[in-house]
Structure 1
Amino acid sequence: MNPSDGALLAVAVAAVRTAGAGMLERFEPLQRTPADRDGVVKAIHQNDAASLGLMREVLKTARPEAGWVEDELEGGLLPGGEFWVVDPVEGNVNHVHGLTEWGISATLVRDNVPVLTAVHEPVADRLYTAVRGAGVACVNGVPMRPSSKAELKAAIVTTGQAKPGETPETYRRMGQAVTAMLHAALVVRMTVPATFQLGLVAAGHIDGFWQHSDVRSGLVAGALLVSEAGGVVTDTRGRPWTLASEDFLACAPGIHREAVEVLRAIA
C-alpha cells in the first residue's frame, strides 16, 4: 500500500460527501419524471454538472498531475499514470425517477489499476472505502467480508444493464446469462447501478455480480471494494479482470468456480 494513498482517500471521501449532500438537496422522492427521453437525458446532464461542480476542484487540487475521467459510459484501458475516475451521480437515472439507489464515486486509478475509492450513498448515509493492498474494505468504517456461501444454488446473484444502447450481441449474452443463472442460482436480480451491487457483494449481502460490458466507472470502485474485502474479481471466464476485459464477475470465493462454469458457456 502506498502511504500517501491514505491521505488521498480522505480527500476522495470529502469530495463524494460534499457532492452527495448537494445532490441530496436536488433529490425528490416523489419525483414525476419528464415525459420523454430527451427530458430524462437533460435532467441527467444537469445532475452531472451540479455534482461535478462540487467535487472536481477538490480532487484536482489534491492531485493536480492526475488525469480526469468523468464520462460514465467509457470503457477500456487508460494511458499510463494516474487518473481520477469519477461517476458524479452513479445511478443518475434512479435519481431522476425519484428512486433512492444513486450515489457518488471517486476512484484513483494508477497505471490502469484502481488504488483507492470512496463511494457515498447519500439517501442511506452509507460510505464505502478501500485502499489497494490494505486487505480491508469498509462500509461506514466497519470492515466488510464476502458471504460464506459454498454453492451457487444457495446464492443471490445480480447483474445489470451497464448503459443504454448496448449492442444486440451484448443484449443476447445478457439474456442468455440471466436464463442460465435462473437455473443455477437461488435468486437472480437485475438492477443498477453496478457499484451498489458490488458493495453488497463485498459486504456479503449478495453473493455475486456479473456484467457483460466494460463500462469503466461502474466497475473500478466495486472491483477494489470486493477484492480488498476478500472476494474474487475476474472476467466471466475466470481470468484476471483488467480495464481491458470485455466482461466482469465478482463473487464470494465459495461460488466463484460454479459461477464461471455457468457464464463461460455464454459465447
Structure 2
Amino acid sequence: MISYVKEANSRACSLLKTALAEAYPDISWGYSERTGASFSNGSGSGASWIYDPIDGAYHYLMGLPLWSSSLALVVNGETRAAFVYDPVLDEMFTAVKGEQASLNGREIRSSDRKLLEAAVVATTMPSFKFDGRDATDATIASIQKVVPAVFSLRIMASSSLQLAYVAAGRLDAYWSMDGDVEDWLAGALLAEEAGALVTNAESGNFTIGDKSIVASGQNLSTQIAHLLKKETEPDNGG
C-alpha cells in the first residue's frame, strides 16, 4: 500500500515539477516528506514550491473522499500563494497573500459563529506508527478538553482540506498536533485570507516549523485557544 502511494506521489510530483519549472523557472522545487527533497523548514531565502500530492493517503487508497493535493509558494520563509484541490468534488481552493481566498473562483469567508457550544470543529488523529506517541497523546488529550465544550467534532483525513473548510466556513475551527507542516502551509494561508485566525497551540503566531496549528473563525479564536492551553496546564483536580 505504501509503495502504491509513493508511486502515485512520484508520478504527480514529476508532472507538476516539470510544468512549474517551465512556467516559473526562477522558483525552486521545495521540501516534501513524500519526495525527499530538501526544504530546511522554510528558513532559507528565495522562493520554493511545497507540494503534497496526496494528503489523506489512506482515504485515497481505499476509495474514500476527503483527500486532497496541496501546493504552497514559500518566499523567504513566508507562504505567499496557496492551492488546495479536492479531486473528488472538483473543488479548487486558492489564496494569495494579502488577497481574498476563493473556491472555484468565488470568494469565501471563515465562520462568524460566536457560541462555542454551537461550533463544529475538526482535528487530525496522528498515525501512531509514523508520528509517534507524543503527537498521539497530545491529540487525544486535546480532544478530551475540546469535545465537551463544542457541538460536534469531525476527523476528516486531509489536514489541508480541513483548513480549507475553515476558510470556507464549513468548519468553525481546526487544530492539529502532528507536526505535519507541509500539509498546513497552503491551508493556513487560505484560512488567514478568508478572515480566520491561525496560531499554534500555544497561541503564538503560526510559523513554518511549528509542531501544532490552530485555525478558527475570529469570534471563537480566544475560546478555542483557552481550551487547548488548558491541555498543557496541570489539572490539580479542578
Q: Does 1:198 align with 2:159?
A: no
Q: What's the TM-score, normalizing by structure 1?
A: 0.80
Counting only pairs closer than 5 Å after superposition, residues 13-52 of structure 1 correspond to structure 2 as 40-52=1-13
Point out the more displaced range, 120-129 or 66-75: 66-75
Question: Is 1:162–1:215's contact at 8 Å kept on the other side of the alignment?
Answer: no
- Structure 1 residues 223 and 231: alpha-carbon distance in aligned structure 2, compared to 1, 3 A threshold: same
Match of 2:215 among 221, 235, 250: 250
Whether the 8 Å CA contact 2:126–2:135 is kept in 1: the answer is no
Which residue is 1:104 aligned to?
69
Counterpart of 2:16 in structure 1 is 55
Match of 2:109 among 132, 137, 145: 145
CA distance in structure 2 between the partners assigned to 1:77 and 1:213 by the alignment: 18
TM-score between the two structures when normalised by the length of structure 2: 0.89
Q: Which amino acid aligns with 1:175?
A: I
Q: Structure 1 75/156 Cα, relative in aligned 2: closer, same or farther at 3 Å?
A: farther
CA distance in 1, matches of 2:156, 2:142: 15
Q: What's the counterpart of residue 128 of structure 1?
A: 93
1:231 to 191, 196, 199: 196
Other structure's SS at 2:182 match: coil
Give the secondary-structure state (helix, strand or coil) at the position aligned to 1:261. Answer: helix
Are the equivalent residues in 1 in contact too, given 2:180–2:211 (CA < 8 A)?
no
What do residues 16-69 of structure 1 show as CA deviations (whole Å, max 9, x unaligned)? xxxxxxxxxxxxxxxxxxxxxxxx101111110221122111112223232323
Deviation at 1:162, TM superposition (A): 5.0
CA spacing shift, 1:45–1:189, aligned 2, 3 Å: same
Partner of 1:264, secondary structure, is helix
Distance 2:101 2:170 in 1: 14
Give the Å deviation of 1:237: 2.1
Aligned pair count reads 227
- SS of structure 2 residue aligned to 1:79: coil
Contact 1:162 1:218 in 2 (8 A): no
Give, in angstroms, the shift of residue 242 of structure 1: 0.3
* Aligned CA-pair RMSD: 1.7
The 5 Å alignment of 1:73-222 reads 76-134=41-99, 136-161=100-125, 164-222=129-187
1: CA distance between counterparts of 2:26 and 2:198?
29
Q: Which runs of 5+ in 2 are unaligned?
A: 233-238
Q: Which runs of 4+ in 1 moved over 3 A?
A: 72-78, 161-164
Contact 2:55 2:68 in 1 (8 A): yes
Q: Which letter does structure 2 place at the counterpart of 1:84?
A: W
User: 1:139 & 1:240 partners in 2: Cα distance?
Assistant: 25
Change (3 A) 1:175 1:148: same
Offset, 1:89: 1.9
Q: Is the 8 A contact 1:92 1:102 kept in 2?
A: yes
Task: Report the secondary structure of 2:230's partner residue.
Answer: coil
